[in-house]
């Protein structure tokens, strides 16, 4: 075959294949782009300009001054429950009231102790002055003249508001007489106060009397003269008669005898 025949054949084939190639190109242009391969990395999306770097560490968030976590409300936040604050205030107020009452009680007890101490000092001063200046004396004696229905269980004696003797139980009911005070006092007016307590006494059908207690109080004012001895006998006795109520029977009597200091000394010596 000559070169002219070969060239003509190539040109004929080209003309035959040209329409097919053009159709293929047109179809490829209209078709959607093929999906990316599974192994190909996706295109990176550009990060915003003000975003932190992916590998950079987050900056630490400062804690509140109280040490509470940043997410929790502060201790003094306005939104704190008012009920808790009110309960705390009530507890503080109650504790303050209890402490105030305890302090007031202690102050009252201290005042009472000071008053008693002052009264004792005054009595001591009167005793010393009386012994040095006037040589007046007071001899106080107790005598029990109560019947068998009463048993003396307590006895207290005070001179010018100062307790000078007190007895309770310990065979007091069996003591018919006992000395209360024997010493110097300042000349002048004085007041002797006595408080006695009795317990009912009975046997058989009258044993119920043991459940009763009877209190009797009385006072007597006397004048101590200079160089004189005032002897006072405090007598507990039953007053009234058989129709008198049992609670009205206990009574106190003061029997006073004034003598010179010499006579008092002689009487005391004779009694011993």
- CA dist 229 and 225 (Å) reads 8
Residue 229 in any domain: the answer is: yes
For residue 55, what pLDDT is reported?
41
Percent of the chain's residues with pLDDT above 70: 57
Residue 8 in any domain: the answer is: no
Beta strands in 186-227 (DSSP E): 188-200, 213-224
Residue 241 in any domain: the answer is: yes
Angstrom CA distances, 193 to 61, 176, 181, 259, stand at 83, 20, 13, 22
The closest alpha carbon to 197, from 177, 212, 209, 185, belongs to 212
- CA dist 179 and 247 (Å) reads 27
Terminus-to-terminus CA distance in the chain, angstroms? 187
Residue 206 in any domain: the answer is: yes
Task: Determine contact, residues 183/127, Cβ cutoff 8 Å.
Answer: yes
Count of domains in the chain? Answer: 1
**Per-residue pLDDT reduced to its tens digit, 24-35:** 665 565 555 555
For residue 143, what pLDDT is reported?
95
CATH of the domain at 186: 2.60.40
Residue 54 in any domain: the answer is: no
Task: Determine contact, residues 167/136, Cβ cutoff 8 Å.
Answer: no
The closest alpha carbon to 135, from 183, 180, 181, belongs to 183
Domain of 252 in residue numbering reads as 118-260
Residue 70 in any domain: the answer is: no
pTM assigned to the model: 0.50
Residue 197 in any domain: the answer is: yes
Residue 104 in any domain: the answer is: no
For residue 115, what pLDDT is reported?
75
Predicted confidence band of residue 51 (pLDDT cuts 50, 70, 90): very low
């Amino acid at each position: 075959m000559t070169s002219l025949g070969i060239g003509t054949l190539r040109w004929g084939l080209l003309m035959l294949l040209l329409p097919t190639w053009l159709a293929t190109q047109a179809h490829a242009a209209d078709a959607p782009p093929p999906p990316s391969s599974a192994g190909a990395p996706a295109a990176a999306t550009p990060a915003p300009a003000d975003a932190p770097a992916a590998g950079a560490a987050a900056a630490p968030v400062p804690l509140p001054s109280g040490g509470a976590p940043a997410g929790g409300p502060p201790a003094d936040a306005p939104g704190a429950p008012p009920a808790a604050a009110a309960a705390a205030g009530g507890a503080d107020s109650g504790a303050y009231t209890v402490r105030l009452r305890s302090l007031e009680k202690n102050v009252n007890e201290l005042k009472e102790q000071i008053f008693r101490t002052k009264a004792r000092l005054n009595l001591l001063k009167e005793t010393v002055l009386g012994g040095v200046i006037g040589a007046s004396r007071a001899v106080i004696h107790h005598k029990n003249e109560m019947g068998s229905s009463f048993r003396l269980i307590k006895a207290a004696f005070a001179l010018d508001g100062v307790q000078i003797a007190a007895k309770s139980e310990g065979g007091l009911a069996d003591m018919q007489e006992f000395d209360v005070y024997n010493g110097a006092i300042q000349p002048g007016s004085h007041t002797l106060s006595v408080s006695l307590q009795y317990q009912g006494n009975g046997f058989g059908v009258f044993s119920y009397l043991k459940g009763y207690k009877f209190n009797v109080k009385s006072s007597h004012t006397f004048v101590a003269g200079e160089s004189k001895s005032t002897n006072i006998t405090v007598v507990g006795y039953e007053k009234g008669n058989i129709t008198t109520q049992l609670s009205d029977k206990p009574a106190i009597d003061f029997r006073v005898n004034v003598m010179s200091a010499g006579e008092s000394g002689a009487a005391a010596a004779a009694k011993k």
